[in-house]
Structure 1
């Protein structure tokens, strides 16, 4: 019985240290992955998350276009079509993201932005 109590006590004491080690590992993994991408100078783009609601997409367009030139989204311009919020928000958010230095925080948009490694350009609409 005494051996069993000591064993349980030791395990209980190790749990907080194991949790702290796991959190540190996850944090360092996240930082090193970001550094790896930057070290390789891999091109990235910012697009709207598919789960974003219409109000958020409109806010992202308004904010981005108040900071950068969004003329390519005007009717008749190369990136106007398809004429929907998801497309326009993704283009506006990416214009902002590129202009501000392609930092992770420049694509946050209240957790509605997504950094992608695949070029989202289509037809004549070329993402920077």
Structure 2
């Protein structure tokens, strides 16, 4: 079986190929690369990330992680034939601990969402890209 077959078997509709891959998955805001990945995997849990990475490793398949795609260094840009692992479905605020002044967010949470949540809790998240 191919890496795409194995990924689809394990993750179903979370695996996008061909015309189902959105233009944004060609690269980050640096615009230093515009390659179409072989597939985009959109896991909804840490277990699904682990499954995708295990399958890609077994096939010796290159992967590139993609978060908010706002980076300016090209780190989220796939090469032709890479599998992109998008964290967009892993978004949200897990906890705001006011006493400790900490916030736990999922890996795919946009910075603006985290900043709004901090503000709503009476805090400032002063990160400005």
TM-score by length of 1: 0.29
Query: Which structure: larger Rg?
Result: 1
| Higher helix content, 1 or 2 | 1
| Higher strand content, 1 or 2 | 2
Q: Between the two structures, name the one with larger relative contact order (CA 8 Å, sep ≥ 6).
A: 1
